[in-house]
Chain A
Amino acid sequence: MGMEIAGIREYSRITEIKGPLLIVEGVTNVAYDEIVEVELPTGEKRRGRVLDVARGVAVVQVFEGTTGITTTGTRVRFLGKPLEIPVSEDMLGRIFNGLGEPIDGGPKIIAEDERDVNGAPLNPAERSYPEDFIQTGVSAIDGMNTLVRGQKLPIFSGSGMPHNILAAQIARQATVRGEAEEFAVVFAAIGIKYDDYMFFKKFFEETGALNRVAMFVNLADEPAMVRLVTPRSALTLAEYLAYERDMHVLVILTDMTNYAEALREISAAREEVPGRQGYPGYLYSDLASIYERAGRVKGKKGSITQMPILTMPNDDITHPIPDLTGYITEGQIVLSRELHNKGIYPPINVLMSLSRLMKEGIGPGKTREDHAEVSNQLYAAYSRGVELRSLAAVVGEESLSQTDRKYLKFADLFERRFLSQGPRENRTIEQTLDIAWEILATLPEEELVNIKEETIKKYHPNYRSM
């Protein structure tokens, strides 16, 4: 039997419990996607939401898991609204759990508004195209995979690789030139290990950035279902800060692989027809509902730049999680185990990396007029060098032509001189491009077919020194 007080309805007829799901019967007036409070006989309260509703029956997903829930004595309250979190500028500098509740012992948040964590899709006609160059100080990114404000650019990594250090370096160094204003950072820890969390926490503390960072934390040993909400809570705050408080927000989501695993778990519990590798057929749309919450909108100063981090299972880029992510995001920064083992930091595989919004963010007035051509030439030359490297491994360097051997040398120089830099080394875009010219100058000039004559005359070290 149920009772209703102020839009809240309470029921206690639980007929089935499986995995994270409760089947509640005898319900009326329950809405799809409504938020639920489950009270155990012990008085413990958990939260959940409605995944499926038919007349009289609701399927409820419990965020904190169903361990300890009994079919008798447990009360289920339907709260009459979708999951909402409070939003406020005061949330910067604070730490929350995945559901947006403070866990840092600080005072309660005085909400300026309550917002549905699911958000609403941005109207493409109201977006404005991202085009402000963000200087990250990392040559492989600035020079060849330029990040712009409002972009979603994930880091594809593998276990044991320095994605955290790189993300932290970017968060510390990212600036838009000519603007003094720093990014506000919204950080979502999705099922990560405690030491990864501590790494970021310490990092934000050390850099004195903590007062412009809001952290939403769900650690590996915390309820898996909350992972489905954590990035959405973070983005809900980010949208408020960007579009109503005119801030430039950098959102770091780590690790999206844990998110997708949680989604698979709930899908399996619901006995849905699986798509590839057991992930639900809607994994693409679901991931998109997170990643697409980045961008700039017309008539607003603020922006949301997203940097999701995901570890590729077995370093496999064709695995559904990186694969579908790559189809949604505006490029990807791919870390390479081979470069990492060679001791190169940041171990960015530039050939597999891409920034789709680069073309709008570079060029005269933004970076430098030679940027696009230099980047094209670096790609062409490095990929040829890498190709020849594998050829030389088979046939020996001596069976290569003289020019080909220069390409081999170029590939090494590229990795040691251009790619490689310190985790605290902050290069300007001019420094990055000048290093590029320095290594390109080791190739015969007629090999630089991607660069226009007048650009060579202006920037090639051979002509500059004269």
Chain B
Amino acid sequence: MPVKGRIVRISGPLIIAENMQGAQMFEMVRVGEDRLIGEITRIRGDKAYIQVYESTTGLKPGEVVEGTGAPLSVELGPGLLGTIYDGVQRPLPLIAETIARDLPHRRMFIERGIDVPPLPRDKKWHFKPQAELGGKVEGGDVLGIVEETSLITHKIMVPPGVRGTLTWLAVEGDYTVDEVIAQVRTDGKTIDIRMAQRWPVRIPRPFKAKLDPTEPLITGTRIIDTLFPMARGGTGAVPGGFGTGKTVTLHSLAQWSSARVVVYIGCGERGNEMTEVLERFPKYKDPWTGKPLMERTILIANTSNMPVAAREASIYVGVTLAEYYRDMGYDVLLVADSTSRWAEALREIAGRLEEMPAEEGYPSYLASRLAEFYERAGRVEALGSPERMGSVTIVGAVSPPGGDFTEPVTSHTKRFIRVFWALDTKLAYSRHYPAINWLLSYSAYTDLVAEWWHKNVDKRWKEYRDEAMEILLREDELQEIVRLVGTESLDEKDKLVLETARLLKDGFLKQNAFDPIDAFTTPEKQFKLLKMILDFHRKAAQLVEHGATVAQIRDAVGRLYVEMVKAKFSIKNDELEKIEELRNRALKALESLEARLG
């Protein structure tokens, strides 16, 4: 019997209820006459402390709190893709429709206490059975498939923890998510299996084994793929002050990356950013398959003006959905914008619970919560048969106050991630986007993914990549000197480094996310561009060695220099021979200079 108590205190998103003996920690409860959704976060005597996921305005002491007997869970099954949910998995369009039924003029607002199911109840899905009747099945075994969208085949799996004999399996046909599609007999009991299943959000879904991330997650963003690559199943953070382009970077990842499924969590951010994805993604095509992007995307929106407690939940809801598609054998990208707002939600709730604050008022368990979240990433061998691999890649934005990377959320996050894309206010001010600072950023996957590049793109990828890094680092040292004495007093060799670094910055690192050609660069084009610039540099360095000046070199290449800078947006991904040809012309110009100088 679920517990039933009464409210004794209300303070913002936190309420305290008494007479709650038997309540479970993290149990989901219904609060007050409006049956608001809440979750128990502390139990003391017969009192339960509850964070409420909706506005508590108008609640009164004495109103009823009812337990549900289960922890906060999500519903899993076909129909997730293409949907936008709030922080506790309510479809936002359905909320609007429900409100519009009674109050058409309030349709655009989110009112409280709206109860709507996560998956469509009346939609029929075409189920194709794939398991053998009478055989032994266990958690993770695929019972059948449903074409969820034109991009994703949804595998209906035996829920983790269930094991037994498959005594009944539905024939091929159309079923709703509530219809039983299989029965498993175990210990004399029969368990009904439906397409819709539930899983508690705070518990990671199980898998067979964790594997090393060795394949890059190609993003089409040059500075990421070439200098600071992400791996499938990896973890990364994008910290940056406001206006440095966190959201544009994350949108680009969601739009262009080679993941099969994308879960985008807008956590405490702007409403219009979610709207932008909602309006754009159905029109845009997945660059890898040519299908509408929305067919591989799930959005979770708890915007900054939505209740703060649901912000805390939204992260767990998102990662659980990601794990579910991982278990089907897909590479999933989870993007969380922004983890700082989630941490602030933790802080606010902790403050209301009068917990002892640690750094900057954050609770002492901030670090362990961050660790738990990022640990849910990984490339895994999924449970059950047939054998399959899947991955969850997690990229979290961090919004450090004042752009200060030493603050608690950034510094703790750094301990648990392996790719760090540090966004730089100074680069952003000069509109150098993506404003990823190449001196502060790092990727621990560079060596792991090198093999993929060498096999699929070019054997010399690592060599060129390292040389580009070297030039950029050297340029930074030289800039120190330039700040004291100016450029004119540098020797020619160093001037060439400055020149090449500028070429790398303008012609390679800077990338316009809104230009149709520039926005997405294939690995092949990335390498060709890099090779063109560096081969040019190598040849120029030779000439300088033999006495040529940088001014002479600039003169000799003339407008070819501009062409090299503009190649990123003037030459398309499928016109690689043009880059090759441009490279040859530039080298030829240098050769004729060489001949002239003797």
Interface positions of A (Cβ within 8 A of B) = 28-34, 52-56, 82, 116, 118-130, 150, 243-244, 272-276, 281-282, 284-285, 288-289, 291-293, 295, 297-298, 300, 318-320, 323-324, 326-328, 330-332, 351-352, 354, 356-357, 359, 372, 376, 379-380, 383-384, 387, 391, 394-396, 399-401, 404, 446, 449, 452-453
- Does B110 lie at the interface of the complex (its beta carbon under 8 Å from any beta carbon of A)? yes
**Mask: chain B, 536-576; 1 = CB below 8 Å from A; 0 = not:** 00000000000000000000001101100110011000000
In the complex, the answer to whether B57 meets A32 with C-beta atoms within 8 Å is yes
Distance between Cα atoms of A288 and B276 in the complex (Å): 18
- Does B198 lie at the interface of the complex (its beta carbon under 8 Å from any beta carbon of A)? no
Distance between Cα atoms of A292 and B302 in the complex (Å): 12
Q: Would A52 and B268 be within 8 Å (CB), given that A125-B92, A273-B351, A275-B347 are in contact?
A: no
Q: With a CB–CB cut-off of 8 A, which chain B residues contact A129?
A: 272, 275-276, 279
In the complex, 10 of the A-B residue pairs with CB atoms within 8 angstroms, ordered by the A residue number, are A56-B61, A121-B109, A122-B109, A127-B272, A281-B361, A288-B305, A292-B270, A387-B430, A391-B483, A396-B486
In the complex, the answer to whether A452 meets B11 with C-beta atoms within 8 Å is no
In the complex, the answer to whether B96 meets A273 with C-beta atoms within 8 Å is no
Q: With a CB–CB cut-off of 8 A, which chain B residues contact A119?
A: 109
In the complex, the answer to whether A52 meets B11 with C-beta atoms within 8 Å is yes
The interface on chain B, measured as residues whose beta carbon lies within 8 A of the other chain's beta carbons, has a size of 81
Of the candidates A30, A331, A383, A449, the one having the most CB atoms from chain B within 10 angstroms of its own CB is A449
- Does B506 lie at the interface of the complex (its beta carbon under 8 Å from any beta carbon of A)? yes
In the complex, the answer to whether A292 meets B108 with C-beta atoms within 8 Å is no
Q: With a CB–CB cut-off of 8 A, which chain B residues contact A52?
A: 9-11
Question: B93 — nearest CB in chain A belongs to which residue?
Answer: A125
Q: Would A395 and B10 be within 8 Å (CB), given that A379-B431, A446-B562 are in contact?
A: no
Which of A32, A330, A376 is in CB contact (< 8 Å) with B272? A330
Q: Would A399 and B274 be within 8 Å (CB), given that A53-B10, A327-B242 are in contact?
A: no
Which of B8, B9, B305 is in CB contact (< 8 Å) with A289? B305
Q: With a CB–CB cut-off of 8 A, which chain B residues contact A372?
A: 514
In the complex, the answer to whether A124 meets B303 with C-beta atoms within 8 Å is yes
* Residues 79-113 of B at the A interface (beta carbon under 8 Å): 84, 92-93, 95-96, 105-111
Distance between Cα atoms of A319 and B402 in the complex (Å): 7
* Residues 1-16 of B at the A interface (beta carbon under 8 Å): 8-12, 16
- Does B187 lie at the interface of the complex (its beta carbon under 8 Å from any beta carbon of A)? no
* Shortest beta-carbon distance from B227 to chain A in Å: 21
Distance between Cα atoms of A338 and B473 in the complex (Å): 33
* Shortest beta-carbon distance from B251 to chain A in Å: 11
Distance between Cα atoms of A396 and B566 in the complex (Å): 32
Question: B433 — nearest CB in chain A belongs to which residue?
Answer: A376
In the complex, the answer to whether B506 meets A126 with C-beta atoms within 8 Å is no
Q: With a CB–CB cut-off of 8 A, which chain A residues contact B399?
A: 327
Q: With a CB–CB cut-off of 8 A, which chain A residues contact B305?
A: 121-122, 285, 288-289, 292-293
Q: Between A and B, how many residue pairs show CB distances below 8 Å? A: 228
* Shortest beta-carbon distance from A279 to chain B in Å: 10
Question: A354 — nearest CB in chain B belongs to which residue?
Answer: B243
In the complex, the answer to whether A318 meets B402 with C-beta atoms within 8 Å is yes
In the complex, the answer to whether A328 meets B304 with C-beta atoms within 8 Å is yes
Q: With a CB–CB cut-off of 8 A, which chain B residues contact A399?
A: 485-489
Distance between Cα atoms of A274 and B347 in the complex (Å): 10
In the complex, the answer to whether B61 meets A53 with C-beta atoms within 8 Å is yes
Which of B109, B431, B569 is in CB contact (< 8 Å) with A383? B431
- Does B297 lie at the interface of the complex (its beta carbon under 8 Å from any beta carbon of A)? no
Q: With a CB–CB cut-off of 8 A, which chain A residues contact B482?
A: 391
Q: With a CB–CB cut-off of 8 A, which chain A residues contact B105?
A: 243-244
Distance between Cα atoms of A194 and B484 in the complex (Å): 50
* Shortest beta-carbon distance from A128 to chain B in Å: 7
- Does B56 lie at the interface of the complex (its beta carbon under 8 Å from any beta carbon of A)? yes
Known: A118-B55, A127-B271, A384-B430. 13 other contacts (CB 8 A): A33-B56, A55-B9, A55-B62, A123-B107, A128-B279, A129-B272, A274-B361, A289-B305, A292-B271, A292-B305, A328-B304, A376-B512, A401-B488
Of the candidates A281, A326, A331, the one having the most CB atoms from chain B within 10 angstroms of its own CB is A281
Distance between Cα atoms of A213 and B575 in the complex (Å): 57
In the complex, the answer to whether A284 meets B9 with C-beta atoms within 8 Å is no
In the complex, the answer to whether A120 meets B106 with C-beta atoms within 8 Å is yes
* Residues 232-283 of B at the A interface (beta carbon under 8 Å): 241-243, 266, 268, 270-272, 274-276, 278-279
Q: Which 7 A-B pairs have the closest CB atoms?
A: A399-B486, A318-B402, A288-B304, A383-B430, A326-B242, A395-B486, A292-B305
Q: With a CB–CB cut-off of 8 A, which chain A residues contact B160?
A: none
* Shortest beta-carbon distance from B31 to chain A in Å: 11
Question: A363 — nearest CB in chain B belongs to which residue?
Answer: B514
Question: A51 — nearest CB in chain B belongs to which residue?
Answer: B11
In the complex, the answer to whether A125 meets B484 with C-beta atoms within 8 Å is no
Q: With a CB–CB cut-off of 8 A, which chain A residues contact B109?
A: 119-123
- Does B480 lie at the interface of the complex (its beta carbon under 8 Å from any beta carbon of A)? no
Q: With a CB–CB cut-off of 8 A, which chain A residues contact B58?
A: 31-34, 82
Question: A127 — nearest CB in chain B belongs to which residue?
Answer: B275
Q: With a CB–CB cut-off of 8 A, which chain A residues contact B559?
A: 446
- Does B344 lie at the interface of the complex (its beta carbon under 8 Å from any beta carbon of A)? yes
In the complex, the answer to whether A125 meets B8 with C-beta atoms within 8 Å is no
Which of A300, A376, A452 is in CB contact (< 8 Å) with B570? A452
* Shortest beta-carbon distance from B406 to chain A in Å: 13
In the complex, the answer to whether B108 meets A55 with C-beta atoms within 8 Å is no
In the complex, the answer to whether B278 meets A124 with C-beta atoms within 8 Å is yes
Question: A151 — nearest CB in chain B belongs to which residue?
Answer: B272
Of the candidates B8, B272, B347, B430, the one having the most CB atoms from chain A within 10 angstroms of its own CB is B272
Distance between Cα atoms of A243 and B106 in the complex (Å): 9
Distance between Cα atoms of A391 and B481 in the complex (Å): 11
Question: B8 — nearest CB in chain A belongs to which residue?
Answer: A55
Q: With a CB–CB cut-off of 8 A, which chain A residues contact B326?
A: none
- Does B348 lie at the interface of the complex (its beta carbon under 8 Å from any beta carbon of A)? yes
In the complex, the answer to whether A394 meets B404 with C-beta atoms within 8 Å is no
In the complex, the answer to whether A121 meets B110 with C-beta atoms within 8 Å is yes
Distance between Cα atoms of A327 and B308 in the complex (Å): 16
Question: B402 — nearest CB in chain A belongs to which residue?
Answer: A318
Distance between Cα atoms of A452 and B566 in the complex (Å): 8
- Does B403 lie at the interface of the complex (its beta carbon under 8 Å from any beta carbon of A)? yes
Q: Would A376 and B486 be within 8 Å (CB), given that A122-B305, A452-B570 are in contact?
A: no
- Does B365 lie at the interface of the complex (its beta carbon under 8 Å from any beta carbon of A)? no
- Does B194 lie at the interface of the complex (its beta carbon under 8 Å from any beta carbon of A)? no
Which of B16, B268, B278, B402 is in CB contact (< 8 Å) with A284? B268
- Does B388 lie at the interface of the complex (its beta carbon under 8 Å from any beta carbon of A)? no
Q: With a CB–CB cut-off of 8 A, which chain B residues contact A320?
A: 401
Distance between Cα atoms of A52 and B352 in the complex (Å): 11
- Does B59 lie at the interface of the complex (its beta carbon under 8 Å from any beta carbon of A)? yes
* Shortest beta-carbon distance from B104 to chain A in Å: 10
* Shortest beta-carbon distance from A280 to chain B in Å: 8
Q: Would A400 and B488 be within 8 Å (CB), given that A120-B109, A121-B305 are in contact?
A: yes
Which of A32, A291, A352 is in CB contact (< 8 Å) with B56? A32
Question: A124 — nearest CB in chain B belongs to which residue?
Answer: B274
